[in-house]
Chains A and B, each alone.
Chain A
Amino acid sequence: MRLSKFLSTTSFFTCLLVSFAFVSCDVLSSGDDNLQPPDTYEFTRDGASSVAYPGQTDRLNMLGEMDAYLGRGDDGQTLSEQVLLDMYTNAGGDGGGNFSFTSDRQLANKTFAPDRDEQLFENLFADAAAASQNGANGVTASDGTAGLLVRENSGNTILVDEKGREFGQLIEKGLMGAVFYNQIFNVYLTDARIGPDVENEDLAEGANYTPKEHHFDEAFGYWGVPVDFQSDWPEDREDEPRFWGHYSDVVDNVRDGMLGTNSTIMDAFIRGRTAIVNKDEAALDEQVDILYEQLELVAAATAVHYINDTLGHLSAGNTGEAFHTLSEAWAFVNALKYSPRRAITVDQIETIQNSRFGQNGNFWKVTADGLNQAKSTLLNVYPDLEPVQDEL
């Protein structure tokens, strides 16, 4: 039902009058087709929030707890393949007893289909568990042998495979791509979920949102940020953005905020959601385009950031630190493949992973030339990174 301008103006003044008495005042009732984008990712209907993404929050928490479990392998304890599988499939609703919470969601069934076909993560769990036996026996990793490497700056160890790749990064960042980005890119931002034909009048059963609104919120939920996230994010709140939100923040403020990904992406989410409320398809498309481009840019920028770090660590003689950051770079390059609109080709991704980061993806064979070529490829494909290539 639509309110006339007169009515809405009247109700606005009425509101203004009573707002001294009531805490909240709902100007923007359903069907108002002229919502202005709010400052934060907060939307209401009839005075109550219309935003919900508990399933995404669950999955972020699952990955967080899997990551903590993988940390035991870094510390030289043994890892159980079964525990990792149970967490991945959320066996019994509590990750086989390994989650601190219960949920009816899981990471496994949201994983990029080709990765599932190849058993990519199941194989990594098996390899990590096997390697952790070496770690528990105090085996130092070397070319061809999985085991532990010391990160020189902290003295902590990491568990790496026979190619020097850190399992924790391959799995954690791997799932950030194969689940979180995959779901944003291939599910929630697609026409099937937020296109013109998706229900945007009637509310979903028992909910305060339309299906279209909710799908968009689920994309936002996978990004992992507080609702008031923005550029030049304060240091005392830097723990709040998680996973992709955290990495946006890592690259946001280079050279006086030249990339500014936090606000660019946040604004696109807010404006996109506003466009859905306003039933403005053109405005929504515009924001979705920005999201595809900028979310991909974050992964590419983070990859360049970690290539730079790797060169620095190698130059300083720190192999453990270097293999940690190169594992990060490897996984962030990998994440680029999940966007159907990717600017980079699968060939380029695989060349970086399997040649530039060492022959056959073996970090022990990585060279300065290879790292610089990988960086050049990324700068060519993502020219926005050119001016900040050395500061990332």
Chain B
Amino acid sequence: MQSNAALEYDYSVAKLFTYTTILFGFLGMLIGTLIASQLAFPELNYLLGEYGTFSRLRPLHTNIVIYGFTLSGVWATFYYSAQRVLKVSMAESKFLMFIGKFHFWLYFVGALIAVITLLMGITQAKEYAQFEWPIDIVIVLIWVLWGVAMFGLIGIRREKALYISMWYYIACFLGIAMLYLFNNMSVPTYFVAGGLGNVLHSVSMYSGTNDALVQWWFGHNAVAFGFTVPIVAMIYYFLPKESGQAVYSYKLSLLSFWGLMFVYLWAGSHHLLWSTVPDWMQTMGSVFSVVLILPSWGSAINMLLTMKGEWNQLTENPLIKFMVLASTFYMLSTLEGPIQAIKSVNAIAHFTDWIPGHVHDGVLGWVVFMIMAALFHMAPRMFKREIYSKKLLEAQFWLQTTAVVLYFTSMWIAGITQGMMWRAVDEYGNLMYSFIDTVTVLHPYYAIRALSGVMYLTGFLMFAYNMIKTMTSSRELSEEPQFRSPMA
């Protein structure tokens, strides 16, 4: 093939991951809405016997959203955009095509097994690292397959220099690999004990405070390398593509990328402020969390300035709206996090609902918005059809934006109320409230959150419907759109 001829990219793997993004997104948000409702209306705990309690479903919710929805989205966009920025088609290499498909199917089967074991209560009880050792091994295999696909594509690329998005995908791959391996080190008990008990059971290699350190070094940075880094990769590719604008500043990209790489991992210990972890480590976590504002805002500002002089697109193109709002929520979330990591604020915020509030303005506002916008951008190019409905997109945007605002405002109020009530003392220095007082007072906020969940889920269903209609019955396109995605 001549280097200047138009390449036919192969989207078969990207399409497969697009389907699971929609499927797991729906499941994760459905369970999320259910468990949010359970806190407001506890009778809902008894829908599915022992498998339906809040405690059993909560890890299912987080894992499906993180490893089901987000990773599917990451891989859908990776298998789409990597070909384009590297100027190479998956179809050129039978080997890479096989690896890509194997990657998907092993992932899909692994995800189903993971869901079943979590429902059964087979768990290491480490947050976001619940899976027992056999599933961990499958996960490592899946990760290696992605690595082979990525570096394989890089190996046969025509474009010499790696585009910014590729930096972030590489970082996502390396970061998660390192963190996941170290945090999941465990010893299966069955073999050491001479064939006794459950073969799936294992004990952590680390104990007590050490275990906590490794866990939150992982937990915090899994957010970094799962929810920040690959989503930044997406916005660096899709916003310039959709808007037809060049990235505002190369220097700012450099600064924010290498800054983020260096600073992010120091911040993990901010999850352990006021715990039994040594003070110097807590202070490091606190200080670096504040420093982290710089590289985070660097990327976000770089993206917003990419729209310089083109702000009219915001009113004309709902996909630009999604991406710009995603950047804005990223800025909000990366300012809120450092504030919570200040020791005196953390003393109130830790253990309260302000923390899920923070997580969700990040995930709902930044991660989900960006992934949905990316899939909408990809759909007309992958399926050669225009987006089914612009009206539906607009309605979805406003419904979900309202839902996110309701979510985080209710959880801010709930969290700060909780934190203040726990520490409130009367004039004689006695505690003013029993614990249950601090639970019952939160009912209205939990009800508001449940409502926001229903709204957001409805918005996601509108997204899913719009995507499926786009794939199957929208007007066909004769040629690939250059910039703005066509929509009816």
Do A and B belong to a common assembly?
no
Residues of B within 8 A of A (CB): none
Question: Which residues of A approach B to under 8 Å, CB–CB?
Answer: none
